[in-house]
Chain A
Amino acid sequence: MDDTQAVNALVKRCVAGDTAAWQEIVQQYHRRIYNICYRFSGSPDDASDLTQEVFIKMYRTLATYDTSRAAFMTWVTTVTRNLLVDHFRKGKYDRVTDSLDATAGNQEEGPTLAERLEDPSASPEARVQSQQAQKLVHEALQKLSPELREAVILRDLQDMDYKEIAIVLKIPEGTVKSRINRGRTELARLLQRNYRQVS
């Protein structure tokens, strides 16, 4: 039995009322859903609440999942993304429009985002290893528009292929590639305005 069949069997058991199957689904997918929510909302607390909401929604609508239409992972991601978009529309997670010249916490003194990134001692990969760099990238990700943010999250953080992303976002594959490209470019510009040499 391959992965797809195993997951489908798990879903069937769950729809039939097997609570152990539901626990297995939660164990298997909570980390992924939490990460999508966290990278999209930017806040661990919001991500936790949103993850719970996603699972509650999944639990109620699990019977509507059609195994012939898409993989379970794609369905789960679609449910997550739709919920995030709903929350975004409510204005809960409005786009932050701070510029690179803004300081942390809007304090008059203190380093700007561009200054904090000016550490030319290492390559981007090496710098991203540090907690501080991770934080800066995460902050920069929140400054992207939701359309670009969700595209790069699904591609670069969740390793989904273009076809799956197109299903989740309900846009053509070409548009997916374009958004991913623009998202990456904008993020790089945000993070290293003064850098032109990237390894």
Chain B
Amino acid sequence: MAELNQSGMQCAEFEALVAEALDGALHGSTRAAFESHQRSCPACSLMLEEAKAGMHWLKGLDEAEPPRHLVHNILVHTIGALPSDHPKPVVTKTEGWLDRLKGRLSPVFAPVVTPRFAMSLGMAFFSITMLLSIAGFHVADLRHVDLSSKGIVKAYYSTQARVVRYYENIRLVYEIESRVRDLRKAATPPDKQQPPAANPQPGNDNNQDKEPRKQNYNRGNSSQPVLAGPPRVKGEVKHPVKYVLIPQARLNRRTA
């Protein structure tokens, strides 16, 4: 096919001119050479005929009609608004306040009120409901909640007390407190440590516990519970002090 034809035109040159020939854009000697090659080369002649047929088939295709809501959808997805040729909702005197509100809000929420958004909202609601259900929260329980000021204050203090109690009962907290106390004791130089008590307590003959006791509890082997309270200082005004009953086992664990 790449042979030089008697017209002086090669098949490759012919092929390059087919598109222009079909547009009717060939003139003069080029056109004469093209036609001459076409007559003398059956392969190129066939190719020209096929290209011509293909062009006719394609040109015969009608323009496809876009869907009716395409423009509307495009505008909603881009500027989030309806086309200007769409009639805006007219507020008449017969309309109620709800209709007027709807009329004003609908253009604002148009990009939000879409099936995709509704689906996301539904999924979010479902997830939250499931989480609450797993956490043991029931909407029906809200009926029993005391929402008076007294009830709220009571709920606040009881919750606070519950939290403090929980915190104090954590073993980790005990251990950390114990370690901190040990570290503080180790970090204090021996000369700064308080000298042995001048008047040792009766029953403490070996003076092992040189640190003054700040808590009024006995570390003996007694299994009786003791009362713990703040130390009393001379000259201090006596206030009513609440004493807490601490089981001996817990005290032993705390000081271990």
Contact = CB atoms under 8 A, between A and B. Distances in A.
Nearest to A198: B53
B75 interface: yes
B47 A56 contact: no
A128 B54 contact: no
A51 B60 contact: no
Contact of B67 (A22, A48, A157, A195): A48
A140 B61 CA distance: 12
A44 B52 contact: no
Contact of A34 (B57, B70, B77): B70
Nearest to A141: B58
B55 interface: yes
A181 B18 contact: yes
Contact of A128 (B47, B50, B61, B78): B61
B52 A198 contact: yes
A134 interface: yes
Given A20-B84, A23-B75, A157 B61 contact: yes
Interface in B7-58: 15-16, 18-20, 46-47, 49-58
Contact of B78 (A27, A56, A156, A191): A56
B60 A177 contact: no
Q: In this complex, which of A125, A188, A191, A196 has the most chain B Cβ atoms within 10 angstroms of its Cβ?
A: A188
Given A19-B81, A38-B64, A178-B16, A157 B75 contact: no
Contacts of A38: 64
B63 interface: yes
Interface residues of B, number: 36
A124 B57 contact: yes
Contact of A52 (B57, B74, B81): B74
Given A59-B78, A177-B20, A198-B56, A185 B51 contact: yes
A59 to B, nearest CB: 4
Contact of A30 (B54, B60, B70): B70
B77 A52 contact: yes
A188 B49 CA distance: 9
A124 B54 CA distance: 9
Chain A binding surface, main DSSP class: helix
B19 A177 contact: yes
B51 A184 contact: yes
A179 B178 CA distance: 86
A198 B70 CA distance: 38
A185 B67 contact: no
A27 B78 CA distance: 13
B72 to A, nearest CB: 10
Interface string A94-131: 00000000000000000000000000000011001100
Contacts of B93: none
Nearest to A176: B19
Contacts of A178: 15-16
B66 interface: yes
A180 B19 contact: yes
Contacts of A27: 71, 83
Interface string B212-248: 0000000000000000000000000000000000000
Closest 4 CB pairs of A and B: A128-B60, A184-B54, A198-B53, A156-B58
Interface of B: 15-16, 18-20, 46-47, 49-64, 66-67, 70-71, 73-75, 77-79, 81, 83-84
15 contacts: A19-B81, A23-B79, A23-B83, A51-B66, A52-B77, A125-B60, A128-B60, A129-B60, A134-B61, A137-B61, A181-B47, A184-B52, A187-B57, A189-B50, A191-B57
Given A26-B71, A125-B56, 6 more contacts: A31-B66, A35-B64, A152-B54, A178-B16, A180-B19, A184-B50
